[in-house]
Each structure stands twice: as structure tokens, then as C-alpha cells.
Amino acid sequence: MAFLKRLIVRTTILLLVCFVWFWFKASATPPPAPAKVDAIVVLTGGSARVASGLQLLADGAAERLYISGAGEDVTVADLLAQSPEIAIQDPASVTLGRARDTQENAAESAAWVEANTVKTVRLVTSYYHMPRAMLLMEDAAPNVTFYPSPVEPETINRNNWWKSVRGFGVIGREFLKFLAAKTGLV
């Protein structure tokens, strides 16, 4: 019985330490990306991700944009219409993927960067999703250099996520998904 208690306490402490490490990793400001990369890859699923990727494209950060995880019926025109204030000169520079989760995002994005001989990528996703996204993308495309461009959703910002059940739930789930990916469980 004493062994079981120690095991539970030590496991709990280890998980808390890992969570704190994850939180600092997720909320840290990444080093600046180069002014120009080969492509921008956006992983959909959170607010402002697509608009951020479109803005990077409009600003000349890359000549191509891959949006992984667009819905089956979504078109480039649909996405551009959601951000009319962002002027995209060449809509043909935007390509859509249809992944349904982060693992599929990594696989289809890796196939796209390989097919397009891309070597440097600005990766756009929510800040709390970035550690897992980087892990999976780097595993799927080991010869590509990824530069994180995290987006901060208004509803779950770095400074007050713990103040709401929703924020705590999102960060907690992302931590568990990161652990599963890191340990190879998924």
C-alpha cells in the first residue's frame, strides 16, 4: 500500500512538473523567423490561424501558403472572403488540405512540402497547440526547417487561460495530447 501511495504521489509530481514545462514551452515567444521562407503552413482548428497565415502571405513572408485542415466543401475563395481586408495578389498561391486532426495535418503537410521542394516553413497554429504541432511536423518532415508563428486566440490567451473552465480544459487536453505524441502513444 505504501508503494502505491508513493507511486501516485511521484507520478502526480512528475505530471505537474511536465505540465509547467509544457506551459512555459507553449507560452514562450519564439525566436524571430527569417524575413522570407519557402512556404507558410497553417493548421486550422482555432480562431485567427487562417487570417494570420493569409497576412504573412500578403506581407511577403513566402510565396506559397498551405492551409491544412480546411473543411471538405471549403474553397480558397471562401477563406479569402472571411478576411477581405487582407489583399492576396495571387489566390493560386494558396493550397488547401483536408486533414481532420493534427497527425493528419503533419502527414499531408509533409507530403505537400516534399512535392513542392520546400525547405523552410513558417508554421502557423495556436500558441498552445504549437509544441505538439512542431513535434509532429518535424517528425513527418525531418529535412524541413520549421519556424513557429504562434497565434493567440482572444478566448484563451497566455495570461488568463486558467481563469475559465474552457481555457483550463483546452490547455489540459493539449498537454495530454502532447504527452501522448511525445511518448509515441499516438
pLDDT computed for residue 186 by the predictor: 77
Query: C-alpha distances in angstroms, 16 versus 21, 75, 176?
Result: 9, 42, 12
For residue 46, pLDDT beyond 90: no
Is the Cβ–Cβ distance between 102 and 46 less than 8 Å?
A: no
Higher pLDDT, 37 or 164: 37
Question: What confidence category does residue 128 fall into, taking pLDDT thresholds of 50, 70 and 90?
Answer: very high
Give the chain's length.
Answer: 186
**Domain locations along the chain:** 2-152+162-182
As a whole-number percent, the residues of the chain with pLDDT over 90 amount to 84
Residues 22-32: what's their mean pLDDT? 92
Which distant-in-sequence residues (6+ apart) come within 8 Å of 178 by Cβ? Answer: 22, 131, 132, 135
- Average per-residue pLDDT for the chain: 94
CA pair distance 27, 25, nearest whole angstrom: 6
Is the Cβ–Cβ distance between 69 and 45 less than 8 Å?
A: yes
For residue 154, pLDDT beyond 90: no
Higher pLDDT, 137 or 156: 137
Backbone region of residue 69 per phi and psi (left: phi > 0; alpha: psi in -120 to 50; beta: other values): left
Is the Cβ–Cβ distance between 123 and 41 less than 8 Å?
A: yes
Residues 40-48: what's their mean pLDDT? 90
Is the Cβ–Cβ distance between 65 and 34 less than 8 Å?
A: no
pLDDT computed for residue 160 by the predictor: 84
The secondary element (H helix, E strand) that includes residue 113 is helix 102-115
Query: What is the signed CA dihedral for 165, 105, 154, 58, rounded to 10 degrees?
Result: 180
CB atoms within 10 A of CB 131: 23
In a 13 Å sphere around the CA of 140, the CA atoms on its Cβ side amount to: 21
Note the pLDDT tens digit of each residue in 51-107: 999 999 999 999 999 999 998 999 999 999 999 999 999 999 999 999 999 999 999
Residue with cell 509544457: 22
Which distant-in-sequence residues (6+ apart) come within 8 Å of 114 by Cβ? Answer: 141
Q: What is the domain class of 2-152+162-182 according to CATH?
A: alpha beta
